[in-house]
């Protein structure tokens, strides 16, 4: 009798394991974004950006997107020695602008490092404007540092708006987001090292 129960139990376990394996096999994994997909850039959405394997694909995408929006001189810097800028372009006013691109998962916030990198690259590239564009959001400290130094931060919602406007033919609207003035923060340090912050209204 005991052997009979043991045999039944073993069979049940085997069937359960087979069911689990079949379910895993049937479930389709997330398909990574392939570089060849850049051939049809207008069909690339935020979901495709989330599937990109590294930041380089995101940098290439932004450069291609800028060209499609009319910034024909946009170019991607070299990977190993970019000095803090990933993409360089000239805006509608004739001003050189540099971009630090950050593609991360949505549960990750961009910190001070991105702002510091693009701001310190400003003089090297002789740029007048500095931007950080990300597929996620920013920390409060990075917002503060960017506001004090005139760095424009474009987050996930801004990126989605740019992409949507481009896809729907509203090129000028997309460009107005890229070229808007950065949020300004007026701040000074007191003797007790506390910081007083005043933010302007986001345009």
Q: Which of 85, 171, 68 is nearest to 132 (CA)?
A: 85
d(CA 60, CA 87): 8
Q: For residue range 86-96, what is the model confidence (pLDDT) as tens digits?
A: 999 999 999 99
Q: For residue range 138-174, what is the model confidence (pLDDT) as tens digits?
A: 999 999 999 999 999 999 999 999 999 999 999 999 9
How many CA atoms lie within 13 Å of 182's alpha carbon, on the beta-carbon side? 24
- For domain 35-199, give the CATH number: 3.40.1350.10
Give the number of other CB atoms < 10 A from CB of residue 189: 9
Q: For residue range 183-196, what is the model confidence (pLDDT) as tens digits?
A: 888 765 555 445 55
Structure tokens at 65: 């997107």
Domain boundaries, the chain: 35-199
Is the Cβ–Cβ distance between 32 and 53 less than 8 Å?
A: yes
Residue whose structure tokens are 């895993």: 24
Residues comprising the chain, all counted:
203
According to the model, what pLDDT value does residue 53 have?
83
């Amino acid at each position: 009798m005991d052997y009979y129960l043991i045999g039944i139990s073993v069979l049940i376990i085997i069937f359960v394991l087979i069911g689990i394996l079949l379910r895993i096999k049937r479930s389709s994994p997330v398909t990574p974004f392939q570089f060849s997909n850049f051939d049809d850039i207008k069909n690339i959405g935020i979901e495709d950006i989330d599937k990109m394997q590294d930041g380089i694909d995101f940098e290439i995408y932004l450069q291609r997107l800028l060209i499609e929006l009319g910034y024909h001189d946009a170019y991607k810097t070299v990977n190993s020695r970019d000095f803090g800028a990933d993409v360089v372009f000239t805006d509608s006013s004739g001003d050189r602008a540099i971009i630090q691109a950050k593609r991360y998962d949505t549960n990750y916030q961009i910190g001070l490092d991105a702002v510091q990198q693009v701001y310190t690259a400003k003089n090297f590239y002789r740029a007048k404007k500095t931007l950080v564009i990300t597929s996620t959001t920013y920390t409060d400290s990075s917002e503060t540092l960017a506001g004090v130094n005139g760095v424009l931060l474009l987050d996930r919602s801004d990126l989605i708006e740019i992409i949507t406007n481009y896809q729907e033919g509203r090129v000028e609207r997309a460009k107005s987001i890229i070229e808007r003035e950065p949020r300004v923060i007026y701040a000074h340090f007191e003797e007790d090292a506390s910081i007083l912050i005043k933010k302007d209204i986001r345009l």
